[in-house]
A = this chain, B = another copy of it.
Amino acid sequence: MSRGHAVVIGDDFSLGSKENIERYISSEFDDVVKADLSTTVGVERLFNFCVNKYGRIDEIWHLAANSDIPAGVTNPKVDLERTFHTTFSLLGACNNFGVGVFNFASSSAVYGDWGDVPLTESLGPLTPISNYGAMKLASEAQICAAFESFLTDATIFRFPNVVGTPATHGVIFDFIRKLQKSPDRLDVLGNGTQQKSYLHVDDLVDAMIYVSNRSGEDSNTRPTIINIGNNDCGVSVKTIADLVRKRCAPDAKINFGSSSHGWVGDVPRFSYDTSLLSSLGWRPSLSSVLSVEKAIDQISDEFTKHLD
């Protein structure tokens, strides 16, 4: 919107809500269309709306996915349809409607569990350990094939762990919800040693716009694939639990599990390499710890608001 574009948002509202989106909508040139983007019919409904109102579609920013990783571990069809079929259907419609620019929210989950090996964009083989990560990688693959065939510009952003509001899930959200239910105790999945870097959603959006503004500067033979994230050593689950307790329920007792994994599909520890992004000149405004602290404040406020 800040670039002066008309923005049309398509969502099936299975995880998000119209209320979450509408607070960001500012003009008559922004629209929200309810559509199931995992099907050709749903995507064509959205595309037809855009073409009828604006005459053409310039760019796709594909962020639709099942973002609830454990749900996809329980039922792989959730990730198949919401995370991969959305990509497949959108690309098919781009081909039919002559849309050449495609931006995609991929994930660090495409790498899998590499321990302390730095996750650079040139690392292989890619061995995701969750159906979510698998369907993000499947999406990347289909975008690469489409780039060879008809896309003129494609950017694949590999997201880190992102925090902020509006939140629907995730470790901070879970901890705050648990403490709201029982303010005297906080049960933590896993032993709390899982350490990850976190990026605040405001920094994430800033980085995507930054990279997107540069695109077209190089003539690429393949899509731009880039890790987005903080390059610090991250925050442990134990620290997050301590910070949430401090903010929400200072007297709570924290109980840790014994596993180094939180749940099947969770990568316990990884070293996310963002030197490619740094080399383009972008810097995050908040470190991992500060991103988490800001998100705790924001999510607590949201919970309080809903209680009022």
Contact = CB atoms under 8 A, between A and B. Distances in A.
B225 A149 contact: no
Contacts of A222: 112-113, 125, 127
Interface stretch (A133-141, A159-167, A180-188): A133-141
Interface string A122-156: 11111111110111011011101101110000000
B134 A144 contact: yes
Contacts of A123: 122, 124
Contact of A88 (B76, B113, B120, B145): B76
A69 to B, nearest CB: 10
Contact of A141 (B92, B133, B148, B225): B133
A33 interface: no
A223 interface: yes
Interface residues of A, number: 41
A148 B125 contact: no
A8 B46 CA distance: 45
B145 A138 contact: no
B126 A124 contact: yes
A80 interface: yes
Contact of A142 (B124, B134, B221): B134
A265 interface: yes
A73 interface: yes
A265 B144 contact: no
Contacts of A147: 129
B128 A144 contact: yes
B126 A141 contact: yes
Given A122-B124, A222-B112, A264 B130 contact: no
A124 B121 contact: yes
A166 to B, nearest CB: 28
A264 B144 CA distance: 13
Nearest to A95: B76
Given A92-B76, A149-B264, A265-B148, A134 B138 contact: yes
Most B-side CB within 10 Å, residue of A121, A124, A128, A225: A124
Contact of A128 (B73, B141, B265): B141
A84 interface: yes
7 contacts: A76-B91, A113-B222, A125-B222, A127-B144, A128-B144, A130-B148, A131-B145
User: Top 7 nearest A-B pairs by Cβ distance?
Assistant: A124-B124, A138-B138, A129-B148, A134-B141, A137-B141, A127-B144, A134-B145
